[in-house]
Amino acid sequence: MSDATRLPERSRLVHRHLLDAGVDIEIRVLPDSARTAGEAASAIGCDVAAIANSLVFVADGEPVLVMTSGGHRAEPVVLARQIGADEVMMAPASVVREATGQAIGGVAPVGHPTRLRTYIDETLAEHGEIWAAAGHPHTVMPLTFDLLRELTGGRVIAVTAP
């Protein structure tokens, strides 16, 4: 990114995290909100399935990050089985903010106060380029599936029933 100072504060933190990891990619600021996968795909001009939604769930009382394709919804029952949890539910906004430092609709896969246990939807591997939020509802960044795995240390799982 040529001028990271023009990014929202949370996106600057994400950018700093990326640079510290040796990754220099451009964070794109969108004119309109990209809070949903559909909005993001429309603004970027990509398939909604190539949007990597950053969803925070609470698994047995612990917040976890699930990077899922915008092409479908993560199923808590499937997630629980895949990650070995007794109970998985969507995190309330207050838990999302506390765990990530970011607001729902802008949660990036990185740049959180502490590293979250992360799981990655296996269907994201079907796309050469995927797009994730970059810390703010108006910012996105392009990634590859391998880079997403590397940056997050995420484990690849199924998030929906076959």
Q: For 23-53, what is each residue's pLDDT tens digit?
A: 999 999 988 877 788 888 998 999 999 999 9
CATH level 3 topology of 4-157 = YbaK protein (3.90.960)
For every residue of the chain, DSSP letters joined together read ---GGGS-HHHHHHHHHHHHTT---PPEEPSS---SHHHHHHHHTS-GGGEEEEEEEEETTEEEEEEEETTSPPPHHHHHHHHT-S-EEEPPHHHHHHHHSS-TT---SS--SSPPPEEEEGGGGG-SSEEEE-SSTTEEEEE-HHHHHHHHTPEEE--S--
Q: What is the pTM of this model?
A: 0.93
Q: What is the pLDDT of residues 117-128, one digit of tens each?
A: 999 999 999 999
